[in-house]
Structure 1
Amino acid sequence: MQVPLPASNKSIALFSLAVSVVALALKYAAWAVSGSVALYSDAVETIINVVSALAGLWALSVAERPADHNHTYGHYKAEYLSAVAEGTLVLVTALVIGREAVEGLLHPHPTTAPYLGILLNAAATLVNLAWGLTLVQAGRRRRSPALQAGGQHVLSDVWTGAGLVVGMLLIPLTGWIWLDAALAGLIALNVLRVGWEMMRDSIAGLMDEAPSSETLDDIRDIIATNGRGAIEAHDIRTRVVGAITFLEFHLVVPGSMTVEEAHTICDRIEAGLRTRMGDTLVHIHVEPDNMAKHEGIVFWPRPETPETATPAPQVLHASIAPETPGGCPE
């Protein structure tokens, strides 16, 4: 169950804002007709969705700006700032909901028109389910932290909504009016968990945390496949910022190789990386054969006596380089 995607991330953010407003209207109506503490808590959380959608719209607008003299690497990290802000708002919301839950447990009161409230909340849950799946899919495909964070937050509302529907159905059947406040408390705990996960992932992006081992393996495989003619590639470092991958490494070539030949190898590696990884900013520091470390990706077993039939490159390990790498020779 997914919604057709608009063309741009900014259009998605605008649509997300509209969906959040619709869900908020339904949940507010559910609380208004029932007076339920749990449904009130759910509506309060949805207010954060609206605020987060506005923040995401701002972040995507900034992230799409081209690089300038003040931000030579682009504005991609604006998405992480949005996700951190959203996570902070979610944590504050959890505290507000928790306070209402405690008040409801201390002073429980029966709900009115519970079935109508449940029906309205269920409608909002279905809206969130369709849109949450769409956002997560879009965020993964477009490598957008803001879209993924928004989608995960919306999907957390789905689980909350499903639990509320079941729990609220039990109240008129069992007469346990305290269950209303207990459900609000569970909502607060779930919101707290989601907020922490969002902040953790976004802070990792702001701190330039290395990508997953699978991504690193893909990068090494691409370099090994397209780097024939070189001796080795070592000191590989990479980070992913939003939709772009930053990559730098040292490429050792025979000392007798011309600048043009080395440049051709660099171009081939860069083309392979962009084909598989999408937007990629690559810095390659080309070095002569006496700088070989015999680690990382080794293309020749013995640099001084290469055979005519070059064996398959060996991926040994990637190390962290203390130097600041240069670029591919022009």
Structure 2
Amino acid sequence: MTALAQTKTRLGLLSLVVSVALVAIKFYAYHLTRSQVVLTDALESIINIFTSGFALYSLYLAALPKDENHPYGHGKIEYLSVGFEGALIFMAGAYILYSATGSLLHPHAVDRPGWGVALLATTAVANLGLGLYLVRQGKALKSVALAGDGQHLYIDALTSIVSSGALLLVAATGVVRIDGGAALLLGGFILVNGGRMVGRSVAGLMDETDTAVVTEVIAELQAHRRAPWIDVHNLRVQRYGANLHIDCHMQMPYYYSLEHVHTELHDIEELIRAKFAVEVEMFVHADPCTFAACSLCRMADCPVRAHPFERAVVWDLHNAVRNERHRL
């Protein structure tokens, strides 16, 4: 296992251990208070244990090397992890809405709200700190599983803060329906966020274009563009966990030898690999130029030029991804 994979695994294990400890605290807070909003918070948090465990397993699988059955690696499992987490959160939100509706219609007294506030505030601080840390590390390590797990903990901290506020209001006003109303609002919030996580998972599994990464690739090619790189098109980027698979078509002078073309393509691939801190697998398909490309070709000493150079096409997100050669 690489150092990067070990770091991800340690973070995933940390999330799992903290989730178990905080869920125990929240259920103890419910035992003391018998508050619906505290139960809502605890039920949402118990999902953390299952999702953190699955995220840890997905990080282990994502770190496995390529094999005959998985030629692009195992990184896609991280998107499945996010979808699994989102689905569980969505189901928890639906149940919480059902339970909170009953509590709102038939409210009951809240016991020892002070203890509930103290315990939930403790869990909120822990979840907020760890959640923000995991989101930051997930982005730095290009791990959607870690980032998704961190976002869930961050959301869990927000629910604990709202739950604490509801208990304080109940204690201050004596209106017990505030407890059920707050639980109802939290249930809706949890439901929406679970749905969003499922949407991100589906987008990743369906290879939805990562606009930011594609823009970076195009900008790097444009910044280091050489005259023989006449035109680039059909540029695509697929993400497999942290790793990237990039392919494109590059139009080059048709009279170049195979060795010369190979050297140019190798330079392009190395240029892009050096740009990203993750593993990049890049394939460039070479297309021979045609006389129709002369007007946008900057080859100064071209021996077969049929038309004078007019202007170069600036590669950007709108033209480099199209599956067609550029024309003036």
- Counterpart of 1:269, as a letter, is I
Q: Give, as a single letter, the amino acid of the residue that structure 2 aligns with 1:321.
A: N
Q: Deviations over 1:224-270 (max 9, x none)?
A: 23341322212212222321121111111112222232222222222
TM-score (normalizing by structure 2): 0.88
Aligned residues between the structures: 314
- 1:84-135 deviation per Cα after TM superposition (whole angstroms, max 9, x unaligned): 1111111110122112201211221111111011100000000001100111
The CA distance in 2 between the partners of 1:85 and 1:55, in whole Å, is 8
Q: Give the match's secondary structure for 1:234.
A: strand
Report SS of the residue matched to 2:229: coil
2:71 — aligned with what?
72
Query: Structure 1 vs Structure 2: percent identity of aligned residues?
Result: 31
Instruction: Say whether the 8 Å CA contact 2:214–2:236 is kept in structure 1.
Output: no
**In the aligned structure 1, how far is the partner of 2:10 from the partner of 2:114?**
36
Given candidates 217, 222, 225, the residue that maps to 1:224 is 222
Map of 1:148 onto structure 2? 147
CA distance in 2, matches of 1:236, 1:11: 35
**Counterpart for residue 88 of structure 2:** 89
The equivalent of 2:262 in structure 1 is 263
Structure-1 separation of matches of 2:115 and 2:6: 37
**Cα gap change, 1:294 to 1:177, in 2 (>3 Å):** farther
In structure 2, the partner of 1:280 is 280
Structure 1 residue ranges without an equivalent (≥5)? 323-330
Q: Distance in 2 between matches of 1:160 and 1:46?
A: 9
**Offset, 1:301:** 7.9
CA deviations over 1:1-50 (Å, ceiling 9, x no partner) = xxxx9952111111110010121122112111111110011001111001
RMSD of Structure 2 on Structure 1 (CA): 2.6
1:114 alignment partner in structure 2? 113
Structure 2 partner of 1:314? 314
CA distance in 1, matches of 2:223, 2:260: 17
Instruction: In structure 2, give the amino acid aligned to 1:62.
Output: L
Aligned residue number for residue 176 of structure 2: 177
Does structure 1 retain, via aligned residues, the 8 Å contact 2:25–2:123? yes
CA contact (8 A) 1:23 1:124 kept: yes
CA displacement, residues 145-199 of structure 1 (integer Å, 9 cap, x when unaligned): 1111111111111211111122210101111101111111111011101101100
SS at match of 1:314: coil
Distance 1:291 1:238 in 2: 30
User: Which residue number corresponds to residue 290 of structure 2?
Assistant: 290
Distance 1:30-1:281 versus aligned 2 partners, 3 A rule: same
Q: Aligned partners of 1:158 and 1:294: how far apart in 2?
A: 60
Taking a change above 3 Å as real, the CA distance of residues 143 and 101 of structure 1, as seen in their structure-2 partners, is same
Find the aligned partners of 1:37 and 1:294 in 2 and give their Cα distance.
73
Cα distance, 1:36–1:123 mapped onto 2, change above 3 Å:
same
- Report deviation, 1:305: 4.1
| 1:168 to 1:301, Cα distance in 2 relative to 1, 3 A | farther
- 2:94 aligns to what SS in structure 1? helix
SS in 2 for 1:163: helix
Q: Unpaired runs of 5+ in structure 2? A: none
In structure 2, the CA distance between the partners of 1:101 and 1:248, relative to structure 1 (3 Å rule), is same
One-letter amino acid of the counterpart of residue 27, structure 2: Y
How far the C-alpha of 1:280 sits from its partner, in A, is 1.4
Q: 1:183 to 1:294 in 2, by over 3 A?
A: farther
Instruction: Report matched runs for 1:1-330 at 5 Å.
Output: 8-212=7-211, 214-228=212-226, 229-277=228-276, 278-290=278-290, 300=298, 305=305, 314-315=314-315, 317-321=319-323
Runs in 1 of length 4+ with deviation above 3 angstroms?
291-295, 301-306, 319-322
The code of the aligned residue for 2:320 comes to A
